[in-house]
Structure 1
Amino acid sequence: MKLLFPLFAAAITAQVSAEVYFKEQFNDDGWKKRWTVASDWKSKDELGEWEHTAGEWHGDAEDKGIKTSQDARFYGLSAPLTKAFNSSDKKDLVIQYSVKHEQKIDCGGAYIKLLPGGEKFEAKKFGGDTPYAVMFGPDICGTSNKRTHVIFHYDKKDENLLIKKDVGCENDKLSHLYTLVLRPDNTFEVFVDNKSVRSGKLDDEFDFLPAKEIKDPDQKKPEDWVEDKMIPDPEDVKPEGYDDIPAEIPDPDATKPDDWDDEDDGEWEPPMVDNPDYKGPWKQKKISNPDYKGPWVHPMIANPEYEYDENMYNVCKDGCTHVGFELWQVKSGTIFDDIIVTDSLEEAQKFAEETFFKKKDGEKEMYDDAQKKERESAAAAMDDDEDDLVESE
């Protein structure tokens, strides 16, 4: 008991200290008051309308999200956090939400942004050029461009740093849960449906820092360095008269037709055929170069500009105050739901159990039933077409 109690107490302490900065389930009509549409970002004709719905298939008809409803439109809206998140407090940052592409998305974004700005944040102007601290979530366009964006803003470079190796994403018609954890030890982790799909150090996976080593500027390849592995064989000489052999010759088996008239048809010439003695352009043989030294490798030295930054994780050092969606979709039908911003992965997982995982199986069952009915309807229509064809014959 003495062994277990400290662990149990630590778990309780972690749970109590967890803080939720934002939570949204979209289950009431008041969501429109909590969120502001970016009406000044694009013209009215360019901005798509958000629909409040549980979707065509769901685990609970009363458990709703917000859905993009018009094709080829921009979608922008944001909401304030209940309390600003400041990463200088050295807490984990956890962003989690669910995405469902009911339209079998072919091209469109579904990522969420964590935004600074405070009282100066202009919600109605929020758009693609608005500064952000984190951009996270799926983005799909075509069959080859499918990724889960993980992007952090780095003040020292004033750049948005994209993860160097793509993180995959789901693109079926069911809901999926996306979770990002950014830790003050300069590590991160991405979960999809509560399964870890990528984790690592920020300096390994992003270009936060200069290279540890650079090419020695005082070194250069020696002028006499030999990198040619093969050289022409000096003993291989082109045979005399090789170039005089034509590629084609008159067909020796051809004869002038009996009805050929030289006066009317001109002087008869036999057709040309490939010359069996022609061997093509002459190529000199090659041999191994006795002076070959291999590829020259530029010597490396420590980069004098390299310096480890303990604060790479500190993307919200001035406080992040809003979350928002700023998207373009060719084909609409994406539903967003169950958003949480917290400093505890355990808190986010608990929220996922109460929301995403609670309705996941019911949604899958309803979707499978819909697919079954669609297949049966298609089969019946095909049978009717065959019957009509038989009757017409």
Structure 2
Amino acid sequence: MNIVFFLLQALVYSDAQAKQIPAKPDEPLVHFQSFDDPEWENYYFPSTLPLYDGEWKVEKSNLVPHEKMIFAKTSNAHYSLTTRFDSPLNLNDQTLVIQYETRFQESLKCGGAYLKVFPPNFDPHVLSPQTQWIILFGPDRCGANDKVKFSFRHKNPKTGQIVEHELKDCPTVKNDKLNHLYTLIVRPDNTFEILIDALPAKQGSLLEDFTPSVNPPKDIDDPNDRKPADWIDDEMIPDPTATKPDDWDEDAPEYIANPAKINPPSGWLLNEPATIPDPSVQKPAEWDDDFFGKWEAPHIDNPKCENAPGCGPYHPPAIKNPQYKGKWIAPKVKNPAYKGKWAPRKIPNPNYFNDQSVHNFDPIGGIGFEFQSTTKGIGFNNILISTNEANVHKWNRQYFYAKRRQQNIELKRIEPREGMPEFAQPQQAPKPKGARKPVQRVQNVQQQQQQPLNGADSINQIADVIVGTVVALFESNPIVVIAASLSLVVLPLTLCTLSLRPRRKQPRSQRKSSSQQPARRSKQPGQHKHRIRRKIVYEYSDGEEEEVYETEDKKPKND
């Protein structure tokens, strides 16, 4: 009967989970593409140009069972995969949300994983690096370059020139083996926000945080203005009243011979050279002095100098000259004729404009990927464009948070010895090492008497442990679903049968008197086991803290 109970609880749990996690955000949606959809090839197309030699393949994700992503499968390759919308998106002062998931099966060493937004007139089949784009957003990593890029192209209303503007200070890339969610939000007040894993990573203004700036300065330097010939802009000048001291010798050398070591040490061989021609080497017979020049034997160390302090001319070591002062320079004083730093006068900028509608990008006609990477195994999924920020946040909470927890559990199962992802909460105290050090230990955070479990508590706790396993079985084995459905009929019948069964009375001859019944042991208050919970706080070198709990069963001493 316990098995039936477990199946029922798993069925309810699985059904609740399915209702809580939607397959995609609520409408309205401009575009949404999951590569779990088998018809994705009807919407997304690679470029036919020979440059794009990277292979795309839809595969199951390592850490999220039953999820499929599209992966870049070729190393050192160019990739293209884009789609064009049936009708372009005109923002018209609406919020723009661009979002997608990516993961690296291998650590991203050098390559892009960014997404591009295209105008309506682009053709996915002939896409090239020269194809115009409107927005570029996503990870880009190579060497010291490690950032989540955000660039957009804006048309100068004065000249009609298209100018690319790039975010100055970008967040860094999450370079691990987990799915990561990259979100860009551009609002009608010309502010933007970048979220990574549904958490804020960067906020700013389209008008202030990009280079070059969208709006030019209102005033500029007059290119025709020239500094007057009599303008004095030297704030300090040599003191005209200062004179060089009489004892100042500008010709004194900076270094002199050490007077204590003028003479060579005892045993110095002044008349012996340090090296001599090697007597064992003879001039080659084919050597032509007219062609090669005069032949000279290679030199070796003079054997007579082996036991001497030195050979050849002696040069005493040099020391700093205590009388050296260098070239004399007069001290500086304030210049009485100083007029200040000269700067050209300002004039109105003839190319000035103040565009407050930068957030209204050109009509958006498509989206996709166009990048180069030396690393293979870059996966993508759940590409989204929306104008409803609230719906996207809601879906991220319902869908991505649940997936993130599932990835964490699966990662610890597959790679239990590797480092936990930053969103994982450690279940046991790690061994302190390196930058880690316990800074505080709080004992007896919680004490709890350990009482024997009754039947209901035991069933509930066991059910909690196996519910996750049963849910996975439901997804992979439909027979279990049928068995659980049948249990809805079997369980009431079983309960009725047990309740109606008459209780057998024990023969009077076999009954024991109350005096023969073994006395039950009653536990004294001091004999109960206690569960002691301790907290350890680990402090990292970067200031971050981590709380870890330990649990220990302890039997107190009797009074």
The TM-score with structure 2 as length reference comes to 0.55
Checking the alignment, whether the CA contact within 8 Å between 2:263 and 2:316 is kept in structure 1 is no
Checking the alignment, whether the CA contact within 8 Å between 2:234 and 2:335 is kept in structure 1 is no
* Residues 205 and 269 (structure 1), Cα distance of their counterparts in 2 relative to 1, 3 Å cut: closer
**Number of the residue aligned with 1:99:** 102
Any idea what SS the aligned residue of 2:133 has? Answer: coil
* Residues 237 and 37 (structure 1), Cα distance of their counterparts in 2 relative to 1, 3 Å cut: same
**Number of the residue aligned with 2:252:** 245
Alignment of 1:176-255 (within 5 A): 176-206=180-210, 207-217=213-223, 219-234=225-240, 235-237=242-244, 239=246, 242-253=249-260, 254-255=262-263
Matched, 1:123 2:124: yes
* Residues 249 and 165 (structure 1), Cα distance of their counterparts in 2 relative to 1, 3 Å cut: closer
Within 2, Cα distance between the matches of 1:215 and 1:66?
Answer: 53
How far residue 160 of structure 1 moved from its aligned partner, in angstroms, is 4.5
* Residues 252 and 312 (structure 1), Cα distance of their counterparts in 2 relative to 1, 3 Å cut: closer
Any idea what SS the aligned residue of 1:358 has? Answer: helix
Within 1, Cα distance between the matches of 2:328 and 2:59?
Answer: 73
**Number of the residue aligned with 2:409:** 365
The CA deviation string for residues 195-239 of structure 1, in whole angstroms up to 9 with x for no partner, is 333344432234322212212446544444444343334414265
Within 1, Cα distance between the matches of 2:398 and 2:270?
Answer: 99
Within 1, Cα distance between the matches of 2:188 and 2:247?
Answer: 77
Checking the alignment, whether the CA contact within 8 Å between 2:141 and 2:173 is kept in structure 1 is no
Match of 2:318 among 270, 273, 289: 273
Alignment of 1:277-296 (within 5 A): 277-279=322-324, 281-291=326-336, 292-296=338-342
Aligned partner letter, 2:126:
K
Aligned partner letter, 1:347:
N
How far residue 337 of structure 1 moved from its aligned partner, in angstroms, is 1.2
Query: Which stretches in structure 2 are left out of the alignment for 5+ residues?
Result: 1-25, 274-310, 420-559
**Number of the residue aligned with 1:5:** none
**Larger RCO: Structure 1 or Structure 2 (Cα < 8 Å, ≥ 6 residues apart)?**
1
Match of 1:335 among 375, 379, 387: 379
Matched, 1:313 2:359: yes
Identity of aligned residues (%): 27
How far residue 147 of structure 1 moved from its aligned partner, in angstroms, is 1.9
The CA deviation string for residues 282-325 of structure 1, in whole angstroms up to 9 with x for no partner, is 241422323345434544344243222244333234xx222110
Aligned partner letter, 1:290:
N
Within 2, Cα distance between the matches of 1:67 and 1:360?
Answer: 19
Checking the alignment, whether the CA contact within 8 Å between 1:216 and 1:300 is kept in structure 2 is yes
Aligned partner letter, 2:102:
V
Aligned partner letter, 2:62:
E
How far residue 76 of structure 1 moved from its aligned partner, in angstroms, is 0.8
How far residue 261 of structure 1 moved from its aligned partner, in angstroms, is 7.9
Checking the alignment, whether the CA contact within 8 Å between 2:171 and 2:202 is kept in structure 1 is no
How far residue 133 of structure 1 moved from its aligned partner, in angstroms, is 1.5
Within 2, Cα distance between the matches of 1:188 and 1:260?
Answer: 80
Within 2, Cα distance between the matches of 1:80 and 1:97?
Answer: 17
**Number of the residue aligned with 2:172:** 169
Checking the alignment, whether the CA contact within 8 Å between 1:256 and 1:268 is kept in structure 2 is no
Aligned partner letter, 2:207:
D
Checking the alignment, whether the CA contact within 8 Å between 1:26 and 1:66 is kept in structure 2 is yes
Tell me which moved more, 321-330 or 253-262.
Answer: 253-262
**Number of the residue aligned with 1:391:** none
How far residue 96 of structure 1 moved from its aligned partner, in angstroms, is 1.0
Within 2, Cα distance between the matches of 1:374 and 1:285?
Answer: 67
**Number of the residue aligned with 2:40:** 31
Checking the alignment, whether the CA contact within 8 Å between 1:340 and 1:348 is kept in structure 2 is no
* Residues 227 and 35 (structure 1), Cα distance of their counterparts in 2 relative to 1, 3 Å cut: same
**Number of the residue aligned with 1:10:** none
**Number of the residue aligned with 1:138:** 139
Any idea what SS the aligned residue of 1:322 has? Answer: strand
Checking the alignment, whether the CA contact within 8 Å between 2:106 and 2:375 is kept in structure 1 is yes
Aligned partner letter, 1:213:
D
Checking the alignment, whether the CA contact within 8 Å between 2:264 and 2:316 is kept in structure 1 is no
* Residues 169 and 274 (structure 1), Cα distance of their counterparts in 2 relative to 1, 3 Å cut: closer
Aligned partner letter, 1:71:
S
Checking the alignment, whether the CA contact within 8 Å between 2:137 and 2:150 is kept in structure 1 is yes
Within 1, Cα distance between the matches of 2:130 and 2:322?
Answer: 70
Checking the alignment, whether the CA contact within 8 Å between 1:236 and 1:284 is kept in structure 2 is no
Checking the alignment, whether the CA contact within 8 Å between 2:237 and 2:335 is kept in structure 1 is no
**Number of the residue aligned with 1:13:** none
**Number of the residue aligned with 2:148:** 148
* Residues 129 and 261 (structure 1), Cα distance of their counterparts in 2 relative to 1, 3 Å cut: closer
Matched, 1:71 2:75: yes
Match of 1:50 among 56, 78, 100: 56
* Residues 194 and 272 (structure 1), Cα distance of their counterparts in 2 relative to 1, 3 Å cut: closer
* Residues 82 and 228 (structure 1), Cα distance of their counterparts in 2 relative to 1, 3 Å cut: same
The CA deviation string for residues 122-168 of structure 1, in whole angstroms up to 9 with x for no partner, is 222213211112111121112x3222222222233443422342221
How far residue 373 of structure 1 moved from its aligned partner, in angstroms, is 3.9
Matched, 1:84 2:92: no
Checking the alignment, whether the CA contact within 8 Å between 1:148 and 1:167 is kept in structure 2 is yes
How far residue 77 of structure 1 moved from its aligned partner, in angstroms, is 0.7
Within 2, Cα distance between the matches of 1:294 and 1:190?
Answer: 45
Aligned length: 349
Any idea what SS the aligned residue of 1:348 has? Answer: helix
Checking the alignment, whether the CA contact within 8 Å between 1:154 and 1:160 is kept in structure 2 is yes
How far residue 36 of structure 1 moved from its aligned partner, in angstroms, is 0.7
* Residues 18 and 227 (structure 1), Cα distance of their counterparts in 2 relative to 1, 3 Å cut: farther
Tell me which moved more, 190-199 or 240-249.
Answer: 240-249
How far residue 278 of structure 1 moved from its aligned partner, in angstroms, is 4.3
**Number of the residue aligned with 1:303:** 349
